């Protein structure tokens, strides 16, 4: 019997984005992909911790398989559910309500994220082209995201986006993930 946990319970576990880049054959590594394809891959193998399978930012040979003994994480995706925001860029209420319960995978426009260092980014770009983990909101209702570009980017891998549809965060909706 497997134990079901939501991704919010994994606060001390950082999944390896490099494993996804290297091993997910449904997508195109650093060239992009789609969250549901990552979830399909993550149902088939266990996801390693970032410390075991570190981020390099370039696609390499996959070092984790369903039979791997050297790199095997303790969790795999059991289920995922989609929250549709209705593609209403002026109303992020559905996303805000869901993030109060659990982190979510969301799509956004990463154009202005490349040079992000600190503060709350107010990006007017709204063409979703990148997925991140939306981990919550701060006391000023800024969205807090965790990016896959390593801990040297932003605020140790995190960024704050101004409330509302900054970087088009409300356009795609989001996915809550249950791990086993």
Q: Tell me if residue 176 is catalytic.
A: no
Query: Of 49, 147, 165, 176, which residue is the catalytic one?
Result: 147
Query: Of 12, 87, 88, 130, which residue is the catalytic one?
Result: 130
Q: Name the one residue in this structure whose structure tokens are 């209702």.
A: 141
What is the value of pTM for the model shown? Answer: 0.78
CATH of domain 82-174: 3.90.70.10
pLDDT digits (tens, 9 = 90+) for 15-25: 788 888 899 88
Burial of 38 (0-12, 13-18, 19+ CB in 10 A): buried
Q: Tell me if residue 141 is catalytic.
A: no
Residue spans of the domains in the chain: they are 5-79, 82-174
The CATH fold of domain 5-79? Cathepsin B; Chain A (3.90.70)
pLDDT digits (tens, 9 = 90+) for 104-155: 889 899 999 999 999 999 999 999 888 888 888 998 999 999 888 878 899 9
The CA distance from 133 to 135, in Å, is 6
């Amino acid at each position: 019997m497997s134990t079901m946990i939501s991704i919010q319970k994994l606060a001390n576990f950082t999944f390896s984005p490099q494993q996804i880049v290297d091993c997910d054959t449904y997508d195109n590594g650093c060239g992009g992909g789609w969250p549901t394809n990552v979830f399909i891959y993550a149902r088939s193998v266990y996801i390693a911790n970032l410390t075991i399978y570190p981020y390099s930012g370039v696609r390499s040979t996959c070092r984790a398989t369903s039979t791997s003994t050297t790199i095997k994480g303790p969790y795999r995706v059991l289920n995922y559910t989609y929250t549709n925001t209705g593609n209403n860029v002026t109303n992020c209420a559905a996303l805000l309500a869901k993030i109060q319960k659990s982190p979510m995978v969301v799509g956004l426009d990463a154009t202005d994220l490349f040079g992000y260092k600190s503060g709350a980014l107010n990006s007017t770009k709204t063409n979703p082209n990148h997925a991140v983990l939306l981990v919550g909101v701060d006391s000023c209702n800024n969205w807090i995201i965790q990016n896959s570009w390593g801990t040297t980017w932003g605020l140790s891998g995190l960024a704050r986006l101004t409330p509302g549809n900054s970087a088009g965060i409300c356009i795609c909706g989001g996915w809550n993930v249950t791990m086993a």
